[in-house]
Amino acid sequence: MSTVRIIPCLDVAEGKVVKGVNFEGLKEVGDPIALAKQYYEDGADELTFLDVAATVNNRDTTYQLATAVAEQVFIPLTIGGGVRSAEDAKRLIASGADKIGVNSAAVARPELITEIADVLGSQAVVVSVDAKRGSTKSGFEVTTHGGKKSTGIDALEWAKKAIDLGSGEILLNSIDADGTKTGFDIEMLTVFRKVSSVPLIASGGGGKPADFVAAAHAGADAVLAASVFHFGLFTIQDVKAEMRAAGIEVR
């Protein structure tokens, strides 16, 4: 097993970090720059920022955030939310991001993945798949707009297509598990692991350090979490200690 990365995720709306359950009931939990610096000092391997209220008016705030965080934090930074063109992606990279997260806009226009990969390289493209249980062939359906809109698209087939189009990583977020702290969606993760030829990031449901171990054993190359770190239930080092004890290599 290769080294597993631990990635705190900061959902940002109007310049503040927010968190909810199943993508609903978002509440403000802190300042993104202060939290980013704290997680960097705590040993995070990467950071992910998702603008969950991305609008044209909020776009400049996201660019400013990328610059401010990049000045404080010296680990890979992924920023997503509201990216609709290769130009948006290029500007975020120029502002300080290392990778670009895309979701809803890529579902609407899949060629966006290739357009960004052609300009920045596949290693800079992270396609977020917000999946929930549904009546599709694989039993998992793609959702967009923060889990609010069902698409009828088979999530497994979409992940494979995204990789073919140039995605360098898949961020697999279980809408069913999001914010519940009941454990990562091991069933979903196991299914996607079998078809993903690129690194797979598990997201949604982490509630204790042992949950991160289970996700790694199910094939996650990285494990992403938000509320457990935001609210101090345990630290990044607690997770890494649990993983080392289970024989999983971490940085």
With 0-12 CB in 10 A as exposed, 13-18 as middle and 19+ as buried, what is 55? Answer: exposed
| Phi-psi sector, 55: left (phi>0), alpha (psi -120 to 50), beta | beta
Supply 78's token pair. 């992924």
Q: Collapse the DSSP code of 71 into the 3-class scheme (helix H, G, I; strand E, B; otherwise coil) and give the result.
A: coil
Whether 130 sits among the annotated catalytic residues: the reply is: yes
CB 156 within 8 A of CB 183: no
CB 101 within 8 A of CB 152: no
Distance CA 208, CA 155 (A): 27
Distance CA 91, CA 244 (A): 38
Q: How distant is the alpha carbon of residue 100 from its chain centre?
A: 10
Q: How far does the chain reach from its first CA to its final CA, in angstroms?
A: 13
User: What is the radius of gyration, based on Cα positions, of the chain?
Assistant: 16
Which listed residue (11, 88, 154, 178) is catalytic? 11
Whether 88 sits among the annotated catalytic residues: the reply is: no
Handedness of CA 95, 171, 173, 111 (dihedral sign): positive
Which listed residue (45, 98, 130, 176) is catalytic? 130
Question: What residues are labeled active site?
Answer: 11, 130
